[in-house]
Amino acid sequence: MKGDIMWLPKLERELLVYYYEKFQKKPKSRRFLRPDVLEVDLDEFIRECRYISNTKVVKKIDDANVCLTERKLITVERLGGEDNYGKRNVELSIEAKDLGRKYNNFFDRIGLWCAAKEHQWLWFIITFVVGFLARWLFEILLQ
């Protein structure tokens, strides 16, 4: 990674965007009590992302939460009890909110990707041009 630009793996990005969206939907009255803490349900995340709910996916999500915690973006507290298996309290740092906002916006996400991958922007432009040329060639061949 270059400098302060952070491009996360797919599952970590999805989790961070999910937490950010949950934070944005949190009622203002509940934000006052514990401003940065969310109560999330991993089963809801699994349903929203259309993952098949099994122990491997839950393990991957837990691993992604550990990675986000090691990057000091979130703090995760597991809620006890067998009936609360998928429930977690998640606290977002300021950097996590900012990064979640950037990943939630398509153009900011593309900008982050290009900045983190250095010369990948060049391939982005090349694929666009090749696609345009292929369409043009296809139209010529059909005539």
pLDDT per residue rounded down to tens, the chain (143 residues): 444 567 788 888 888 888 888 888 876 655 555 666 777 777 777 777 766 666 677 788 888 888 888 988 888 887 766 555 667 888 888 888 888 888 888 878 777 777 777 666 677 788 889 999 999 999 988 88
Neighbours of 134 (CB within 10 A): 10
Q: How far apart are the first and last CA of the chain?
A: 48
Q: Which of 53, 52, 54, 62 is nearest to 15 (CA)?
A: 62
Dist. CA 70–CA 102, nearest whole Å = 20
- How much helix, strand and coil, in percent to the nearest 5, is found in the chain? 65, 10, 25
| Fold classification of 10-104 (topology level) | Arc Repressor Mutant, subunit A (1.10.10)
The DSSP code for 82 is: G
**Predicted structure pTM score:** 0.68
Pseudo-torsion of CA 111, 114, 117, 121, nearest 10°? 180
Dist. CA 36–CA 134, nearest whole Å = 49
